[in-house]
Structure 1
Amino acid sequence: MANLRPLCTMCERAFAADDDTTLHHTAAEELKRSVEAGCFICKRFYKKIQELRDEAHTLGENIDRPLFEKIRYSRQWSGNGWLARNFTIEAFERSPEIWFDCITKEATKELGLRTSINSSLRSPDSLKQAKAWLENCRHHHELCNRRLQNVFVPSRLVHVLQLENGSVTSACLVIDTSLPSGTPYLSLSHSWGGARFLTLTGANLDQFREAIPVAELTAVFQDALYVAFQLGIPYIWIDSLCIIQDSPADWEYESKRMGEVYKGAVCNLSASAFKTGTQGLSSERGSHFSEILPMQIDKQNGSLRSSADCPEDAQFYLMERSVLRGKPWETICSGPLFERAWVLQEQILALRVLHFGKSELFWECKEVFANETWASGWASLPTQCHNEDDHVERALSDMGDAFRYHKQRNPLWQFMVEDLDSVESSDGLWRRIVRDYSARSLTYSTDRLPALSGVAREFSAMYEKSRYLLGQWSDDLHLGLLWSQTRPFPPSANTLAWPQVPSWSWASLNAPVDWYIYDLTVDSQQDPTSLCKSINPMTEPDSHAMTLIGNLMRLDLPDQNRGARWYTFDNGSLTLAYWTFFSWQFYLDQWYFDSLQGKDDEAKTHAMLSSVFFIPLLYKNYRQIICLVLLPLPPARGVFRRAGIVHIYNPGGGVDKNFTPMAREYQKNIAENLYQDCDGEGNYQIAIV
């Protein structure tokens, strides 16, 4: 191991030499020897090449070829103590770029960059940093402390009692009546995974109140208890240890309070990078965490020193561009935990979060997003620096908004739940939340709405006149009903999530949904009765039927004389263009599209148009009207099931907001059994279930 070199000769030359474009390693064996010797840069090249090879193999491409064709680099810019190199790898008919920055010691200090961190996420220094983030936020962040003093205490909490030799040795379950109001506690977000593990049941409830067998807990729970003790907050809420797992009554009660649990926690511990509880929270980073490499460069002759004895207080520090110019929020959100639907409301409602990533701790609150490398946080980085050397200012200018955390952050996490009444468009915000949420996975489809109930409760407090209706809002139905299942359709997405959810709710499908097909901000202030005279949901007790009164219509079947000029069917989308210059763009729900399978496009089109009806809900300027696509459910009179949406579009204009005259042309052959009532003016009353 004594022969390990932080940089090979070729990589040293890339930063010490003054040439603009030069070939790097040209042979695979040469690159492998450099990797074995420990070269900081070549190891990253080799990893990228392996990823390219795996990608090509997955796509069925030929991988029986040399490991790579060539690696070349170019100097992007240099001067004022800041170097940037761009390496291009040509392998498996791909040419990805890997960027490296080499910055001075002064620049790292200006930016608050930590050049060395500990080898383990469980190290005292790492958790000391976590505690510093927490205490600083609790005592100094005005925005974070605007939330009213928490008095909520969960029904049960795990109390960490003792720590020895870096492990929790004693813990027990306590109930709320034994704790004072406002007792500070932590919460945990984690992925259950497929393996069985020890949970709270009716049989062991009394035992847990005496003592929880810590050694039998899964690794993520043991680590969470350890972190709680180290942070000085020895109470923590963990779902499977605080909810009786074999009691449907306890689950129903506690699941309704789950939003309050995460909202009331002092901080949420998030196992962001881990798929299962067996992985714990503490990936080892090795004896040397080599995201940043210290270097010495002789400015006079261009020689470079990168030997193992290079001092930490070096002149320069080498790092991959992602360290300086990456998107830390994307790094966290790409973790497997964020594929879980339940976690979304935990993210939104938690006031503070300590994320456990694969290689670093990340801190998130309303004012700061930070990790161990950028311990002071992205939000606190300077926008301008004025000194003799302008390297920092130049770097920030070159990076643009990449450093500005609050500009790159997912907008769902930009708001405080207490400020919903001041959000410019809470309706639009709800739709963005549903878009993210519906794409996440659930172990049990019956959790489709319960897993979002905590966030819905926060919105409900702000919508004084609007009723929450199975994922929709009563004051927003003329827009909210026009969701569309995203494409391409995923496998098995057509199954109803659970029988109690009606077809007009996006929650009726186990599938991602969106409102992306059109800009809902346009005409968002329209009178909802301008097209559909009435949308009256769930008027009967225990009924999920929604009553609509509007222009019920159907299209004629296309024929050679006056029908559709052309049509295309693609993954549930059907476009019909008529000689009248109107086009009809259908976006069908997968369950209905699948019912048309086994036919060619012409047969599918005829089968659909002979079956479905539609009713307009949204007028978009003078070119477009958007409608629900409905399938009748005989023998019930005037009862339909949602089958998708359709856009009626004329690129030349001429679509009138007063749709009734146009609708009359398409209201032929509507038999009495297809509606519940009619006013004689083209408005039909129907029910959607």
Structure 2
Amino acid sequence: MGNSNSKHYECSCSGHDIFLDDPPDKFCSRCEALFSTVKNLQQLTANTRSGDIYKYYTIREAERNASRGCPLCREFRTWAYEWITTGRRSQWFLCTDNAQLPRRGRQNPDSKYSEEVLTSRYIMAVDKAGSERKFLALHRCPPDLKDPSGEFLESTPVSYEMGSYATAIEVVRRINHCAAKHGACDNFSMPYLPSRVISVGSLREAQQARLHIAERGQRGHYVALSYCWGPPGSQALMTRMDNIDKNTHHLNLEALSKTIQDAIAFTRKLDIRYLWVDALCIIQDSPADKESAIDSMGQIYRNATLTLAAANAKKADDGFLKARRSPWNMDRGIQLPFRLPDGNMGKIVAVRCKRISPGSLAANRQPIDYRAWTLQERLLSPRLVVFGETSARWQCQTVQQESIFRSEIQDLTDDFVALPESVFKGQPEKRFKERYQMTTKDKQQTRKEQISLWQKIVVDYTIRQIGDPEDRLPAIAGIVAKLETVWNDRCIAGLWVECLPENLFWSFGGAPLAPSLTQYLAPSWSWVHVNAIKLERRDPRLRIIECSTIPVNTEVPLGKLKGGILRVSGAIRIGEITATFKYDQTWFYIDKGNNITFLQLGYRQGKANKDEQAIGLILMLEDYVHGRNAVYTRIGIFYNSNPLEWDIAEEYIVSII
């Protein structure tokens, strides 16, 4: 409709926690009449270009009525302050989100009830230029009010259970719609089952849940669960060597963690037979089974018919289907008089849509967004239902994230991270060509897309927590495996060969991954051993000679590492570490420190795009090999405001481990 811009919206309440004001007696005339006459309902559903839509107020007029006590004008004033910076005298109009196209031979608006309003989800505010933005989200009244409008309105009720049959029915509808209509999503063929899945049983037949050992080549639709384990001991029951036989006959639901119980219950309502959960489908005290499962983890989520993301649960025993309070401040829902098709009057609940900035979204990350493993579970899942603090939300490769009942946050974020479409296509129509077949322009575009996507993935990944630091590479191995195929490239210790000079431009943004860790994680030039990194897009100026790593298990090349080396040719300058610092009223002066080496990576623009700076790595000498070909470790990054010094710097070959 119109020129609607992609922005951030939220109903200022959750799907469970809308507080209703007592019916006010101070509505202004236009607000009180908004839904109460047949003519107004016709105007609300009229085409926005027809000139016959509902005329509302200017911002100045709404301010005046708000000061007199009209609650809806007060909401419009607040909404306008969030969105509109100029034009307080400009006229605004209102229409529904499903405003109809012009109809030939249309009858007089006074003689026909506009039933389109019964299916409306939003009231849009429209300016004279035709630009639309969501203003109000529409809800049915709570059932306990026994309002007659509930028999006619199809909008989301003020409250609903995320694990209800209504939610499950809507999820099934979306799965079928995605399979039939979404060209960017996969072809929805019957997937191969993982080696073990939970057979959830049937509610109709009262079957018991049990662990199912899949036959080789067995196919079947299955659901995967993505969730947070929480601290040690949060998992009530796991599959081990001593209980696997028992679990294949019967799973005691009461002994399972609440999150797994919820997943089984909801999978049953979806009428899907199988569910994959790591705690039960991997033998937890078998290192060999765990390593095999971790290696295939990406494919398990990639092939799942649907993934359930228990985003609101901090630990396995929390569960994710119970009602929760919204983390955002909630405004009060406003009850407005509503004319029904039978001529009677009922009520409809209107809630202001609130603009959400990317920064505030980041500040309200769900518990699941802090677990490292769940990033690849989300990115590799072709279809996902996210059970959050406020609602259940649908996500696929075509729809970013959308409330199951279209009632809350919309257009969640402009920088939504998604893997390339060809990851989810059985026969990808769009695929990166062999690089030697590419034109120079194609290569530049390919590199730009790689750098941009990998930057988003790594920045998100490195702020997440991981129980075992040695799993830092295995926890994204599934993503890497898919991207290696799509990009026709190799990823070495988290850096891509074709973009290696640019990938080296990372800087330290948080604490070490594990300060007391004695195990080897990755070479010093890799970001794998630190948290919260920042990646920068810069113009590189060095030549890669060699880059390689040594995996712990050669059969799992994308897993744990035990060594690696990077050999480059670049401009070098020598320096020395000295320091002056104060602690507890005492000054310390270090006369002489360790010699260090500066290796230039490239250039960047300074502040306000002025004063080009040289940027590079700070290296500490470890050993000499064959004269000038020395071995170093990376200890930091530098910026130099005098790039001319680097134009005359000599180039050397160095090895970094």
Q: TM-score, normalised by structure 2?
A: 0.66
Mapped contact 2:521–2:528 kept (Cα < 8 A): no
Q: Say which of 533, 539, 546 aligns to 1:536.
A: 546
By relative contact order (CA 8 Å, sep 6+), the higher-ranking structure is: 2
* 1:10-409 matches, cutoff 5 A: 12=24, 15-16=27-28, 83-85=73-75, 109-111=119-121, 114-116=155-157, 118-146=159-187, 149=189, 151-163=191-203, 170-177=208-215, 180-181=218-219, 183-194=220-231, 195-284=234-323, 293=333, 295-297=335-337, 313-314=346-347, 316-322=348-354, 330=361, 334-368=365-399, 369-374=401-406, 404=411, 408-409=414-415
Letter of the structure 2 residue corresponding to residue 176 of structure 1: A
Query: Residues of 2 paired with 1:150 and 1:467: CA distance?
Result: 30
| C-alpha distance after superposition, 1:360-379 (max 9, x if no partner) | 2111112233214417x99x
Q: How does 1:585-596 map to 2 (within 5 A)?
A: none
SS at match of 2:192: coil
- 1:7 matches 2:44: no
* Secondary structure, counterpart of 1:278 in structure 2: coil
One-letter identity of the residue aligned with 2:75: R
Q: Which residue, 610, 623, 633 being the options, matches 2:622? A: 633
Q: Does the C-alpha gap of structure 1 residues 443 and 277 become closer, same or farther in structure 2, counting only changes over 3 Å?
A: same
Structure 2 contact 224–301 (Cα < 8 Å) conserved: yes
Partner Cα distance (1:440, 1:544) in 2: 24
Q: Deviations over 1:611-663 (max 9, x none)?
A: 3211112244782322110112258882211111112224xxx638xx4x521
Would you say the 8 A contact 1:102–1:319 is kept in 2?
no
Q: Are the structure 2 counterparts of residues 6 and 467 from structure 1 closer, same or farther at C-alpha, using a change threshold of 3 Å?
A: closer
Closer/same/farther in 2, CA of residues 320 and 506 from structure 1, 3 Å limit: same
Is the aligned partner of 1:481 residue 2:481?
Answer: no
Q: 1:543 to 1:220 in 2, by over 3 A?
A: closer
Q: Of 432, 438, 446, which aligns to 1:421?
A: 432
Any gaps of 5 or more consecutive residues in structure 2? 1-18, 32-62, 85-92, 97-114, 123-137, 139-154, 425-429, 434-445, 552-561, 606-610
Shift of 1:607: 5.7
1:684 aligns with 2:655: no
- Report SS of the residue matched to 1:555: strand
Letter in 1 for 2:369: F
Query: Against the structure 1 CA distance between its residues 285 and 340, is the aligned structure 2 distance closer, same or farther, given a 3 Å change threshold?
Result: closer
User: What is the CA-CA distance between 1:439 and the residue it aligns to?
Assistant: 0.8
Structure 1: how far apart are the matches of 2:305 and 2:338? 50
What SS does the corresponding residue of 1:279 show, helix, strand or coil? coil
Query: Structure 1 pair 454/633, CA: closer, same or farther in 2 (3 Å)?
Result: same
Which residue does the alignment assign to 1:554?
574
Q: Is the 8 A contact 1:75 1:86 kept in 2?
A: no
Deviations 1:149-176 (A, max 9, x none): 35432111111123279xx761111223
Give, in angstroms, the shift of residue 106 of structure 1: 6.9
- Kindly report which structure 2 residues correspond to 1:504-583, keeping only aligned pairs within 5 A, or say none: 504-509=525-530, 511-516=531-536, 519-520=537-538, 523=539, 531-538=541-548, 543-555=563-575
Residues of 2 paired with 1:325 and 1:685: CA distance?
50
Cα RMSD (Å): 4.5
Alignment gaps of 5+ in structure 1: 20-72, 89-95, 300-310, 379-402, 559-566, 570-595, 664-681
Partners of 1:328 and 1:688 lie apart in 2 by: 37
Of 649, 652, 662, which aligns to 2:641?
Answer: 649
Shift of 1:409: 4.9
Distance change (3 Å), C-alpha of 1:199 and 1:333: farther
CA positional deviation for 1:534: 3.8
**Equivalent-residue separation in structure 2 for 1:364 and 1:329 (angstroms):** 21
**Does 2:494 correspond to 1:471?**
yes
When residues 204 and 620 of structure 1 are mapped into structure 2, their CA distance, relative to the original with a 3 A threshold, is: same
Shift of 1:420: 6.5
One-letter amino acid of the counterpart of residue 624, structure 1: Q
**Conservation of the 8 A alpha-carbon contact between 2:338 and 2:346:** no
> Where does residue 449 of structure 1 map in the other structure?
473
Note the alpha carbon deviations across 1:288-343, whole angstroms, 9 max, x for none. xx9884623599xxxxxxxxxxx9953x5321433x87989949972111111101
Q: Deviations over 1:496-543 (max 9, x none)?
A: 58414111110022x111114xx43xx4xx6xxxx4344312388974
**Bigger shift: 624-633 or 183-192?**
624-633
How many equivalent residue pairs?
Answer: 503
Corresponding residue for residue 303 of structure 1: none
Cα–Cα, structure 1 residues 332 and 472, in superposed 2: closer, same or farther, change >3 Å?
A: same
Report what 2:599 is aligned to.
615
Matched, 1:499 2:512: no
Shift of 1:261: 0.4
Could you tell me how far apart the structure 2 residues matched to 1:420 and 1:598 are? 60
- Rounded Cα–Cα distance in structure 1 between residues aligned with 2:279 and 2:356: 39
More helix by share: 1
Deviations 1:391-439 (A, max 9, x none): xxxxxxxxxxxx556x635234685535563865213311221111011
Superposed displacement of residue 262, structure 1: 0.5
Aligned to 2:107: none
**Equivalent-residue separation in structure 2 for 1:508 and 1:204 (angstroms):** 36
SS at match of 1:170: coil
SS in structure 2 of the partner of residue 131 of structure 1: helix
Q: Within 2, Cα distance between the matches of 1:84 and 1:553?
A: 64
2:306 alignment partner AA: C
- Structure-2 change in CA distance of 1:497 and 1:320 (3 Å): farther
Using structure 1 for the length normalisation, give the TM-score: 0.63
Percentage identity across paired residues of the two chains: 24
